[in-house]
Amino acid sequence: MSSFFERLRARRLSVTFAALAAISAMVLMASYAVHGVHGQSKQNDSADATPLKVSDTSVAPNNFVKIAKEVGPAVVNINTRTLPSHARTGNPHGPMQAVPEDPDGGDSGNGGGQGPDQNFQDFFNRFFGGQAPNAPGAQPERDSLGSGFIVDPKGYIITNNHVVDGADEIYVKLSTDPDTTDRGRKAHVIGVDKATDLAVIKIDTDKPLPTVKLGNSDNAQVGEWVIAIGSPFALSQTVTAGIISAKNRTIEPGAAGQFQHFIQTDAAINPGNSGGPLVNMNGEVIGVNTAIYTQSSGYQGIGFAMPANTVAQVYNDLISPRHKVVRGSIGISFREGQSSAVGRVYGFTHGVIVQQVQPGGPADKAGIKIDDVIVSIDGRQIKNGDDLVADIASRRPGTTVRLGYLRDGKPMTASVVVGDRDQIFSSMLGENNAAPSDNGTSSETKLGITVREVGSQMADKMGRGGMLIVGVKPSSFADELGLQPGLAITRINKVPVGTRAQFDSVVSGLHSGSDVVFEVMDPKHPEDGINLLGGTLP
């Protein structure tokens, strides 16, 4: 009996499999009919389709098109190369310039770091140019990218300091240069201003280059259309548009932001745009794109540009014989952000309370003391510390101002002779780090270095006097020899240069073709002795 049921079960399975096979065959035949026969039929039916044609009409150029064509040729791509630190033979911190970063005014305790908000990603060596802060120890070779624009047909270009800072080689590509793997035209630094993050570089040219026009940034209004042009993410000649979102933005707290009052815009700005122009609808540059606010390292609708009026002032100083920005100072410091209660207790509604007076400085000589409240300059009321710094810094050293101040609630006045901000600031630090003037010997021009006399303690440690190198110009004679900031030059061509006068005398006698041999020491390691570095002056 069991065998009977087994045979019955096997017969049922056979019938089931046969039915499934028949169904599969029918499905395959249907599929063939649909995808084969009908598909072929559809292809043949395309004979009634109408070919597409491209219209030969064009949209009338708007202002954005006109401005891009007008300004674009003067916008350049800047790429830099930074060698590994162990192989570098030049200045690891860029061109020769020693601008103090905590000038008089503001609370130095508040001005050093990034502040509470670290979303300002590209503010000084973060994202735009691909630059990163120099870390100790050997670093790999780095390439970075930025933008700039030509302001003089002879090849003078404005960009951001952080685009070229620390670079061993700087190259510029014009919009008319061929799009090849070549880096471009070699550029050199004319001068930099760290306080405003601006730099002037130059390329050699045998014919006049296209330039931009600078506009009056003070006349710019919130809500105006603006255009940003640059090389974001290595995409050269990129044009974006937006509006001015705000003016007079300070994004770094304390003294670090005293000269950084930006135009805010929502024109798309990204890494690589640094140093490029912000242009108004008259085709005039009203700002230099400098920083972005971001939480993602990319554009999020908030960018910042240094106003053109500030740019023009800085540029004129950087192309002067001194190649540095000269700012005035009266030798005081004060604390920012005082509570209104302080004003009520001290009896003033505007002004600043003097927190420190540099001994022997301009304010000290004029009788200004700690806890005095400065309320006016030449009869004009000052609002706050920024107002005071902006006014005094804009005045040339040697000019006289009339300060109005309160002492124990009583109004008083004093005549103060404005001093050089760099020199005063260096004195307030207890060091003589002021960048010296180029008094005709042209050590910067001839050799590519900025120096100052070593202090007495350093001279005692070395066992001799000398000139401390405080800056080396990239690609200069000194740079190629291997001179670096921090080294001390004790003799040139066997002649002692322990004083400024001795140094200037020797340098003034050097000419193109002269053999120059420097005797240098490392003041931190005088036990290493003297090193000789020499070459023929080009």
Q: How far is CA 21 from the centre of its chain?
A: 76
Which residue, chain included where needed, has tokens 């951001």? 160
122, 274 in Cβ contact below 8 A?
A: yes
Alpha-carbon distance values, 57 to 34, 54, 62 (Å):
44, 9, 15
**Cross-strand bridge partners of residue 203:** 187
Examine the residue annotation and report whether 46 is marked as an active-site residue of this protein.
no
Q: Which of 144, 236, 245, 274 is catalytic?
A: 274
Q: Which of 108, 144, 162, 245 is catalytic?
A: 162
Q: Distances in Å between the alpha carbon of 480 and those of 176, 311, 419, 523? A: 31, 31, 36, 21
Q: Are 447 and 432 in contact (CB under 8 A)?
A: no
Residue 121, classed as helix, strand or coil, is: coil
Q: What are the backbone dihedrals phi and psi of residue 406, each rounded to the nearest 5 degrees, phi first?
A: -110, 135
Strands (E), 391-509: 400-407, 410-417, 419-420, 449-453, 467-472, 488-492, 495-496
Mark residue 5 as left, alpha or beta (left: phi above 0; alpha: psi -120 to 50; beta: remaining). Answer: alpha
What Å distances lie between residue 135 and 60, 213, 407, 469, 472, CA to CA? 52, 39, 47, 21, 20
Let me know: does 157 contact 327? Beta carbons within 8 Å.
Answer: no
The active-site residue out of 107, 197, 420, 504 is: 197
Q: How far apart are alpha carbons 34 and 36 in whole angstroms?
A: 6
Residue 197 falls in the annotated catalytic set = yes
E strands, 181-283, in order: 185-193, 198-203, 213-214, 225-230, 238-249, 262-265, 277-279
Alpha-helical (H) ranges within 125-242 are 161-164
Q: Which residues are catalytic?
A: 162, 197, 274
